[in-house]
Amino acid sequence: MRSLFFPLNLALILTTAGLLTGCLYSNVRVPISTEFRKTQVAPKSGEAQSQSIAWLVAWGDAGLQKAAENGKLTTLNYADRAILNVFFGFYMRNTTIVYGE
């Protein structure tokens, strides 16, 4: 019975770790755009952010329009989203990055 105990515990630990990956800290950047065939590198960019703390308070404007205004862009070519998550979302920051001219 004891020889079966260790593999089961190890399987449980690995399964739990796989499900909770990135829960303590994650900082990822993903594209919002999905069409990349004719995308050219843009000379300018702009960013906009929203943040939240303790699942209770949130503020900011992470919209495409606000990011374009902050970067003084009139034409948008593509966009990315950066997401920072700390301790199961206790602190979160969403950043929209737009590229264009």
Dihedral pair phi/psi, residue 77, rounded to 5°? -100, -45
Q: Is residue 27 part of a domain?
A: yes
Q: Is residue 49 part of a domain?
A: yes
Domain count, the chain: 1
Residue 100: closest CA among 80, 77, 79: 77
pLDDT of residue 49: 96
pLDDT of residue 5: 61
Q: Is residue 18 part of a domain?
A: no
Dihedral pair phi/psi, residue 25, rounded to 5°? -155, 130
- Residue 58 sits in which domain range? 23-100
Q: How does pLDDT run across 29-55, given as a tens digit for each residue?
A: 888 877 667 777 788 989 999 999 998
Q: How does pLDDT run across 72-89, given as a tens digit for each residue?
A: 998 888 888 999 999 888
3-state secondary structure the chain: CHHHHHHHHHHHHHHHHHHCCCCCEEEEEEECCCCCCCCCCCCEEEEEEEEEECCCEEEECCCHHHHHHHCCCCCEEEEEEEEEEECCCCEEEEEEEEEEC
pTM over cut 0.75: no
